[in-house]
Amino acid sequence: MQISVHMLLNVAVYSLLYISTVVFIIGVWYQISDILKSPNPLVISQNPQSDKMSGVIRRMAGDLFLFTSLSKGDRYLWINGLIMHVTLAILMGFHLFGLVSYLAERGNYIHISPEIMGFLSTIASIIGVIFIVSLIMLMIKRSNDEKSAYYTKFFDYFIILLIFMIGVTGVFMKISSFSPDLPAVKSFMIGAFTFHSKPVPLNMFFITHIALVSILLIVFPFTKLIHAVGFFFSPTRNMPNNPREVRHINVWDTNNGD
């Protein structure tokens, strides 16, 4: 009975991972395609905007990495949003590093000492806690600020709670008494990427973590989270403010033969 239950769990977890990945890819592609189909009849760059593409790239890089536009408004929201996004990027980098280092060690390309891995794990735990705290502060901001509360819907709170629980389960797995078998986790993840099924580690926090991430992937393209992709296609951001120097071709006029 134990073996059959584990097999069913394997099928369920792998199915959820693959279905969520397919939904994520198709959903994001659909959203991008929809954006690209939308015509830009006018130059609607958000001022102040450079009249050269190099200036546009610099501004977009500042907004992408430092949230410079947000820093000119609500400083509380800016600092917490920046901390949350930076810590999230670092945590995702740690996940990627863990998989790559595992493959490199299996191929005898490199060997990372247990001391270094332990140090990196401690750093990841600290960053994870900071990430969770920043999410709590953003939740408080949205709840207490009248303007933020007005345009925040129930599903927005659901997304924040979902990301919060992903962070919490991730931090709990750093605690020795709740930690899964790391080689089994890495073997499972590599198996998922290479389509070679490996047993799912029987750890409640790991399975919950994977399930929550899969749910996030499914809802990602259909929520405000899509701004992570839409940012690069926003005409208010990526269009130079040069209507006098360069004639902007109105696609509507082109389609009408004018």
pLDDT tens over the chain, length 258 residues: 445 777 888 899 999 999 999 999 999 999 999 888 877 777 778 777 888 888 889 989 998 898 888 888 778 889 999 999 999 999 999 988 888 887 777 766 777 777 888 888 899 999 999 999 999 998 888 888 777 777 778 888 899 999 999 999 999 998 888 889 888 898 898 888 888 888 999 999 999 999 999 999 999 999 989 988 888 888 888 888 887 787 777 666 655 544
With respect to residue 96, please indicate whether it lies within any of the assigned structural domains: yes
Report the predicted TM-score, pTM, of the whole model to 2 decimal places. Answer: 0.86
Q: What proportions of the chain, in percent to the nearest 5, are helix, strand and coil? A: 75, 0, 25
Q: How many domains does one find in the chain? A: 1
With respect to residue 257, please indicate whether it lies within any of the assigned structural domains: no
pLDDT of residue 255: 56
With respect to residue 117, please indicate whether it lies within any of the assigned structural domains: yes
With respect to residue 145, please indicate whether it lies within any of the assigned structural domains: yes
With respect to residue 38, please indicate whether it lies within any of the assigned structural domains: no
With respect to residue 108, please indicate whether it lies within any of the assigned structural domains: yes
As separate numbers, helices (DSSP H) first and strands (DSSP E) second, the chain gives: 12, 0
Rounded Cα gap, residues 235 and 39, in angstroms = 10
DSSP string, 19-50: HHHHHHHHHHHHHHHHHHHS---S--PPSS--
**CA-to-CA dists, residue 234 to 35, 61, 118, angstroms:** 9, 14, 42
Residues whose CB falls within 8 Å of the CB of residue 206, separated by 6 or more in sequence, listed in order? 169, 173, 180, 185
**Token output for 249:** 């071709």
Residue 154 lies in domain: 91-229
With respect to residue 195, please indicate whether it lies within any of the assigned structural domains: yes
Q: CB of 162 within 8 A of CB of 216? A: yes
pLDDT of residue 13: 93
Rounded Cα gap, residues 241 and 219, in angstroms = 35
Question: How many other CB atoms are there within 10 angstroms of residue 161's CB atom?
Answer: 13
pLDDT of residue 209: 96
With respect to residue 55, please indicate whether it lies within any of the assigned structural domains: no
